[in-house]
Structure 1
Amino acid sequence: MDWRSIPSLAALRAFDALARHGSLSAAARELNVTHAAVSQHLRALEADFGEVLARREGQGMQLTEAGHELAIALGEGFARIADGVSALRDRNAVRPVVVALTPSFAEAWLMPRMGGFWAAHPEIEVRLVPGVTLTDFRRDGIDVAIRFGGGDWPGLQAEPLALSAFVVVAAPHFTKARDLKGLLKLTGQDWFFSGASSEQQIWGKAIGVDFKAIGAREMANNGLVASAVRAGLGVSLQAKTLVAPDLASGQLISLHEGDPEGLGYYLVTRPDGLSHSARLFVRWLRRLAKA
């Protein structure tokens, strides 16, 4: 970059403050300089660009069209600088690792394994934020997300964490159905799904079962769904990784398995780097998924 080709940063900072506050005096107070200094910076910028950037209007200043364009560019640029500085300062800061994830993944897969991470890193606090809606990483302070879908989230980095098949499960003697054709003959009251599990509804439509349309039994969370199915009250769609212990023990049996290409759980992060604590958590997740 040729720094000689752009105005001084002091002048650009002054104009950014003026644009945000709409007042020379307010901009001067923010920058801890005099009213005259901000006015001088404004005149210097206008001379440099050959454009009027702001006009006095009553007690304040009104930006021109050129002033608006410059203000938008400066706002975006200074915001990126602030993000970069904060990320660098936070890299080794001791703060919680905030993880957004689906409720079913948190309950059935992650929480039973979290003891291993805390045993290895007792100094790191991990704050889990279960939810079915997508979160805004910057707005919500999210470090890492475990999302369900096809891996395409613009502006974020996504890597497969668990792309295992889904499975229709039931207690051993609940139904004689052992294939998809037999399952599709079940009534809506035989199916259980969680309103907090987008995974189940996506998988259901993949095999031709729309839970809302058939009037399936909806539970508040996947823990209740699993309890109902273990008790022999119905069938449910689950990620195979989440019910592997139940299948291994024989408490549940598999009635049908599917594997929609690319559909599963993804480890999602921002492209601008992680704190030291978040990097340790991500490495632990990767090792766990491979195992």
Structure 2
Amino acid sequence: MDWRSLPSLNSLKTFTAVAETKSLSAAGRELNVTHAAVSQQVKSLENFLGLQLVVREGRGIVLSPEGEQLFEGLSRGFEAILETLDELLREDIARPLNITVTPSFAVSWLMPRINDFRLKHPDIELMLNPTAEVVELKPGGVDLAIRFGKGDWPGFDSELFICTNFAVVGASCLIGDKRIEKPEDILEFPWLSEYGTNELTIWMESQGVVPTGKLNITHLPGYMVLEGVRRGEGISATAKMFLEADIATGNLKVLFEEGVYPGTGYHLVTRPGVKRPPLKAFMSWLRTLRPDLEDC
């Protein structure tokens, strides 16, 4: 299509509003612009076409034969555009809300609360994808990612939701009376690591610890890691918020915390731009449950 042969869309839209209302002032109110702006757009279109499209008659206007012909064609075109947009919007609203989240967050935080959202928004179909993999946010695909980190993901909108440090933890029945004073002291314990993550290894490297032998690491889904840690099957690095109750009762011990991802937390990550209604509803619901962020 030769776009340079077409007048501006704004002038075509303005003319159509004038033709529908038979008034420059009424068209201005419809388009939320001034009478002068409407007159200028119509005059610009007439100059572009070399045709007179409107004729003043008393206090109003009437269309010339050429104006009537143009209005008929533009009406069909704009109606087709509106029908297409309406169909797209209906399909977009009806599409399930696709959310990717880490398995640990899904099991420990989201699932105990998700029924409240379903009761408040029974018309929104949810598709939850608990995975440690970083899923690409594409139009028509994943709408929201709830991810742990510092929130510095270029090209995406990131909103801090819950701030929490990762902590290296182990069950009291596993640690016993052993004194844990330096990172090397935990090398002898079995490690439990969530699929697709390596927090403990990264942390050990950041502490300058180089294992002399092969580490005893078992890779598991996130929910199994938490249960395994509670049963004393190994130590792990995980978000402290998931295990606060176990730590308070003494079932778990925090072996190291300072220096393990300080000042980070779970973020709501979305694509930039306008968010479709189901996503806005879900994010608004999440914000009502967000803890105080003043100490983050």
Alpha-carbon offset, residue 277 of structure 1: 1.4
Alpha-carbon offset, residue 271 of structure 1: 1.3
The unaligned stretches of length 5 or more in structure 2 are 8-80
Contact 1:168 1:236 in 2 (8 A): yes
Spell out the pairing of 1:41-60 with structure 2 (5 A cutoff): none
Change (3 A) 1:159 1:180: farther
Contact 2:157 2:271 in 1 (8 A): yes
Alignment: residue pair count = 213
Spell out the pairing of 1:266-285 with structure 2 (5 A cutoff): 266-285=267-286
The amino acid of 1:8's aligned partner reads L
Contact 1:104 1:196 in 2 (8 A): no
Change (3 A) 1:86 1:130: farther
Equivalence for 1:289: 290
Q: Distance in 2 between matches of 1:87 and 1:214?
A: 58
Equivalence for 1:6: 4
Alpha-carbon offset, residue 233 of structure 1: 2.6
Spell out the pairing of 1:100-139 with structure 2 (5 A cutoff): 100-138=100-138
Per mean C-alpha deviation after superposition, the further-off stretch among 166-175 and 152-161 is 166-175
Change (3 A) 1:187 1:260: closer
Equivalence for 2:165: 165
Spell out the pairing of 1:91-102 with structure 2 (5 A cutoff): 93-102=93-102
Alpha-carbon offset, residue 251 of structure 1: 2.9
Equivalence for 1:263: 264
Higher helix share: 1
TM-score by length of 1: 0.61
Q: Larger Cα Rg: Structure 1 or Structure 2? A: 2
Alpha-carbon offset, residue 207 of structure 1: 4.5
The amino acid of 1:137's aligned partner reads L
Contact 1:162 1:264 in 2 (8 A): yes
Q: Distance in 2 between matches of 1:228 and 1:248?
A: 18
Contact 2:193 2:219 in 1 (8 A): yes
Report Cα offsets for 1:87-106 as digits up to 9, x if no partner. Answer: 98259823321101222222
Q: Distance in 2 between matches of 1:210 and 1:107?
A: 33
Moved over 4 A (4+): 85-88, 177-180, 198-211
Report Cα offsets for 1:122-141 as digits up to 9, x if no partner. Answer: 22222111223322222661
Equivalence for 1:174: 174
Q: Distance in 2 between matches of 1:122 and 1:210?
A: 52
Partner SS state of residue 154, structure 2: coil
The amino acid of 1:168's aligned partner reads V
